[in-house]
Amino acid sequence: MLPADEARVTFQEAASLLPGRPHPTTLWRWCRVGLDGVFLEYEKVGRILFTSREAIQRFVHTSTEQHKNTTHSAS
């Protein structure tokens, strides 16, 4: 569940905020399957999925840190 003070954006809008403009299905995968154990926060209203800019920032930051930790511990 997203915090109440964060503006919701559709996955299509959210994808356009990211470098490389990933397909909205990629965002769905990040929510359901995760990336390096990190999940993108989302809400479902009817049949439409929403996330927020802040949730994307948290996801990118946390998944980057997780990747760094995984990479450093493997060396």
Give me the tens of pLDDT residue by residue for the chain, a chain 75 residues long. 899 999 999 999 999 999 999 999 999 999 999 998 999 999 999 999 999 999 999 999 999 988 888 766 655
Residue with tokens 């990629």: 26
Domain borders along the chain are: 8-74
What is the pTM assigned to this prediction? 0.86
pLDDT the model gives residue 73: 60
pLDDT at residue 57, as a whole number: 96
pLDDT value for 45: 93
Alpha helix segments (H runs only) across the chain = 11-17, 24-32, 53-74
Tokens of 49: 């999925």
